[in-house]
Amino acid sequence: MALDINWFPGHMRKTLRSIADQLSLVDVVIETCDARIPFSSRNPELDSLISGKRRLLVLNKSDLADEKVTAAWIAHYKEQGIVAVPCDASHRKGLDLIRKNCQLLCADILERAKNKGRIGRPIRAMVVGIPNSGKSTLINALCNRKVAITGDRPGVTRGYQWARSDSMLELMDMPGVLWPKLASRRSQLCLTITGAIKSEVVEMTDVASEGLTILIDRYPVETCERFRIDAPGTEGFISDPDERFLAAAKNRGCILSGGRIDEERFAAIFLDDFRSGRVGRITLERPDRPE
Ligand SMILES: Nc1nc2c(ncn2[C@@H]2O[C@H](COP(=O)(O)OP(=O)(O)OP(=O)(O)O)[C@@H](O)[C@H]2O)c(=O)[nH]1
Ligand SMILES: [Mg+2]
């Protein structure tokens, strides 16, 4: 069953065409994914589009993800021959590693340019990835100034734009792209609770309720503590997901006059707590158990 949502507006198709058109102008592609969902936040259409290019995979928002699991993902990619690095673009962490790896990946291009007398030729990099994964934030961090508009919602960047980081790096920002056939319902949920899919196009109480179930499955202690519900394996654990969601909402004081539970308000609280890292540093997908 799929969430009944339209996550692939026409401008994403346009962006995929634009990426294909501009690809020959760049030396390397920097693909940002969300370190909390490395499996679901990589676009297979982008993957095949950029397969012929040198590329660096950036596991961004690593400040919100489980550090050990991020390390496991990076080792997993290394086994597959993909260079991946962790990054926290908001706090400017991991930038040197990105610069260094771009240089390594493009060493032969720089060497050839040098042999032709073009010493100090900048590396041209295109930054691509799913919406809201932090592409523009990363570009601003690498440029050390605000060159690109950023925002806490998907679909902020609307067209491509070049920015000069320093004498070594030139960067092209791109709008985020999803793909028309998202894999599983669980992937769709992961993309929604992390903020890659617009909350306007989905029923947020359903998403939050299922999100709570996923979080309890992966991080029971942190999740049950935050939402003041009994953990699995304890006597008071509520096994029915809907009842559990209502109990959590009640415990957080989301009650309307007349005693009805305010599910919408709790859904917003749940998503805000998760997205801001208040539940803890959480990664929803592991390389040994991506789904
Ligand atoms: N915690 C955390 N937040 C981040 C990080 N990088 C970006 N963000 C936040 O994520 C949100 C989206 O960032 P953008 O840079 O606009 O994302 P984008 O990929 O350019 O998004 P689109 O242009 O819509 O595709 C903003 O609220 C950023 O502050 C990070 O490493 N850690
Ligand atoms: Mg952007």
Separation CA 60–CA 32 (nearest Å): 6
Q: Could you give the count of Cα atoms lying within 13 Å of 14 in the half-sphere of its Cβ?
A: 8
Distance 198 CA to ligand 2 centre (A): 14
Q: What is the CATH number of the domain that holds 32?
A: 3.40.50.300
DSSP the chain: ---S-----HHHHHHHHHHHHHGGG-SEEEEEEETT-TTTTS-HHHHHHTTTSEEEEEEE-TTTS-HHHHHHHHHHHHHTT-EEEE-BGGGTBSHHHHHHHHHHHTHHHHHHHHHTT-TTPPEEEEEEESTTSSHHHHHHHHHTS--S---SSS----S-EEEE-SSSEEEEE------SS-S-HHHHHHHHHTTSS-GGGS-HHHHHHHHHHHHHHH-HHHHHHHTT-PPTTSTT---SHHHHHHHHHHHTT-B-TTS-B-HHHHHHHHHHHHHTTSS-S--S-BTTB--
The number of the ligand 1 atom at minimal distance from the alpha carbon of 139 is 15
Are β-strands 54-60 and 83-86 bridged in parallel, bridged antiparallel, or unpaired?
Answer: parallel
Separation CA 136–CA 132 (nearest Å): 9
pLDDT, residue 8, reads: 75
Phi, psi (deg, nearest 5) at residue 57:
-95, 125
Separation CA 61–CA 173 (nearest Å): 18
Distance 70 CA to ligand 1 centre (A): 18
Is residue 165 domain-shared with residue 21, that is, in the same domain?
A: yes
Is residue 62 domain-shared with residue 129, that is, in the same domain?
A: yes
Ligand nearest to the CA of 137: 1
- Count of structural domains within the chain: 2
- Taking alpha carbons only, the member of 216, 288, 228, 236 closest to residue 254 is 228
Q: Which residue from 12, 90, 273 has its CB within 8 A of the most atoms of ligand 1, so it is best to mutate?
A: 90
Is residue 145 domain-shared with residue 213, that is, in the same domain?
A: no
Q: At what angle do helices 263-275 and 185-193 cross, to 10 degrees?
A: 80
Distance 145 CA to ligand 2 centre (A): 15
Separation CA 172–CA 142 (nearest Å): 12
pLDDT, residue 290, reads: 66
Is residue 64 domain-shared with residue 169, that is, in the same domain?
A: yes
Are β-strands 161-164 and 169-173 bridged in parallel, bridged antiparallel, or unpaired?
Answer: antiparallel
Distance 34 CA to ligand 1 centre (A): 10
As residues whose CB is below 5 A from the ion ligand 2, the structure lists 135-136, 156-157
What phi-psi label fits residue 34: left (phi over 0), alpha (psi between -120 and 50 degrees) or beta?
beta
Is residue 119 domain-shared with residue 243, that is, in the same domain?
A: no
Tokens read off for 137: 């934030």
pLDDT, residue 289, reads: 77
Is residue 116 domain-shared with residue 230, that is, in the same domain?
A: no
- Taking alpha carbons only, the member of 177, 214, 180 closest to residue 196 is 177
pLDDT, residue 1, reads: 40
Q: Which residues of the chain fall short of a pLDDT of 70?
A: 1-6, 290-291
Is residue 30 domain-shared with residue 152, that is, in the same domain?
A: yes
pLDDT, residue 4, reads: 54
Residues 1-50: tens digit of each pLDDT: 456 566 777 888 999 999 999 999 999 999 999 999 999 999 999 999 99
Residues 80-98: tens digit of each pLDDT: 999 999 999 999 999 999 9
pLDDT, residue 213, reads: 96
Containing structural domain, residue 219: 203-275
Is residue 76 domain-shared with residue 126, that is, in the same domain?
A: yes
